[in-house]
Homo-oligomer: A and B are copies of this chain.
Amino acid sequence: MKIGELRGSLDWARAGDEMYALVAELYPICRSITGDGLRATLRRLGRDLDLECHEVPSGTAAFDWTVPKEWNIRDAWVKDARGERVIDFQRSNLHVVHYSTPVRCTVGLDELKRHLHSLPERPQWIPYRTSYYEEGWGFCVEHERLAGFGEGSYEVCIDARLEDGSLSYGECAIGGASDEEFLLSCHTCHPSLCNDNLSGVVLTAHLARLLAGLELRYSYRCLFIPGTIGAITWLSRNRQRAARIRHGLVVACVGDGGPFHYKRSRRGDADIDRAVEHVLRQSGAAHAVRDFSPYGYDERQYCSPGFDLPVGSLTRTPHGCFPEYHTSADDLGFVSARWLGESLCCYLHVIDVVESNRRYRNTNPHCEPQLGRRGLYRAIGGSASPGRTEMALLWVLNLSDGATDLLAIADRAQLDFDTVRHAADLLCSHGLLAETA
């Protein structure tokens, strides 16, 4: 089956439900950039996917970086003088600053507050904070609860281990006709946060399952990696493979109800940029496209100047632009099966365009060929304008010089890609068009 047929036959509602169910299943796990939570997540994904899991030892060099120690946490709490847990990791894994060093001590209120993070402007939400590369400890708490913290001494416990271990990541490779690859990369390191980025994780996994059953032109590589250090580690171990990446997308924040948002690759006019922009424009729905910037997700690494890969990022509301971002409010109520299904649909559309985009040469370039005698043109002449199908035939014939691809033709003709591709197929079947390399 080709991807076009899949798109025509897929039960989107069911796909959305399945993705949402997996988000719900993975939600409670306490992931970080290393450790057992990340491993458990990869193990769960591996039940549905042919997922190769890698372990890279702490201390391994990766370009300018070093794989950090592994962090695992069993429990963490702050108890007041009466022994009551006023902050409790068991209630939310966001309560602890991730990568906190183990600690067990008794402190006064002032000292405690130096280790607390909260959001005054969102007093009911717990922020998500990390301290991967500087040792220390801390807790995150709802701001409204701080007022209840009276003077006195507090017992603090972070029952964590920060020691040599390994960094885990998962890789799912799906072979296609060509060695050239399409990269789908999602960061898999966030704890109980749904849109950022369980949504990206389950969408990538679902895409991988669907693509595995298809007849593909490109090979696909889906990476389930911890943000930043994961991408850097993968790139440092796969420099040759990275050179084969022809298209790529960083998958994140695809479960909320906002309009689609595309961040271009550093190149700005790569095929993936043109394909995503075409799909979004033709959708007729509100959407935004913005230029590359060196802040964001792992496109930062893929688009670093030494690689400069054609990798963009297709999200709904982008990181940092929804108030729930990196807070406990990015929960199961913030994402929905319907929105996940829409995002899957959009990703498959983009992949279909990239798979089908080709260059042709008009075999009959002097004047138009006589379409009428081949049944490709209406018989009765004189009415004011031809249909979309006839216009697509004329555009493809006029612009197919062996160098202009179907996507460029669709954009110049202001027609949707499917109409143009259908016209090219028709012309090919009549010998009026020949594919070029």
Interface residues of A (CB under 8 A from B): 62-65, 97, 117, 127-134, 136, 138, 228, 231-232, 235-236, 239, 266, 293-295, 300-301, 303-307, 319-320, 325-326, 362, 364-370, 372-373, 379-386, 390-391, 394-395, 397-401, 413
Contacts and interface: CB of A to CB of B under 8 A. Distances in A.
B236 A366 contact: yes
B130 A367 contact: no
Given A305-B362, A368-B304, A372-B134, A128 B294 contact: no
A366 B65 contact: no
Copies in the complex: 3
B365 A304 contact: yes
Q: Which 5 A-B pairs have the closest CB atoms?
A: A306-B365, A306-B366, A320-B384, A294-B394, A134-B379
A133 B381 CA distance: 9
Q: Name the residue among A138, A235, A304, A320 with the largest chain B CB count within 10 angstroms.
A: A304
Given A130-B382, A133-B379, A326-B382, A367 B294 contact: no
A365 B301 CA distance: 10
23 contacts: A64-B367, A64-B369, A127-B383, A128-B382, A134-B380, A136-B379, A232-B367, A236-B366, A266-B398, A294-B394, A294-B395, A294-B398, A295-B391, A300-B394, A301-B368, A303-B398, A304-B367, A305-B397, A306-B366, A307-B367, A319-B384, A326-B382, A326-B384
Contacts of A235: 366-367
Contacts of A293: 391, 395, 413
Contacts of A117: 380
Contact of A63 (B127, B130, B366): B366
Contacts of A128: 382
B326 A383 contact: yes
Contacts of A391: 293-295
A301 B130 CA distance: 62
A281 B157 CA distance: 53
A367 B301 contact: yes
A400 B386 CA distance: 46
Given A130-B380, A304-B398, A398-B266, A65 B370 contact: yes
Given A294-B397, A300-B368, A305-B398, 4 more contacts: A235-B367, A295-B394, A319-B384, A320-B385
A401 B304 contact: no
A385 B320 CA distance: 7
A303 to B, nearest CB: 7
Contact of A64 (B129, B305, B326, B364): B364
A131 B398 contact: no
A316 B138 CA distance: 56
A133 B97 CA distance: 77
A2 to B, nearest CB: 28
A385 B132 CA distance: 17
A350 B129 CA distance: 42
Q: Name the residue among A138, A294, A306 with the largest chain B CB count within 10 angstroms.
A: A294
A281 to B, nearest CB: 17
Nearest to A383: B326
Nearest to A303: B398
A129 B382 contact: yes
A427 to B, nearest CB: 12
B295 A365 contact: no
A379 B98 CA distance: 12
Contacts of A365: 304-306
A194 B97 CA distance: 66
Contacts of A368: 64, 228, 232, 294, 300-301, 304
B381 A131 contact: yes
A130 B378 CA distance: 11
A381 B306 contact: no
Contacts of A380: 97, 117, 129-131, 134, 138
Nearest to A94: B382
Contact of A236 (B304, B362, B367): B367
Contacts of A372: 133-134
A238 B401 CA distance: 22
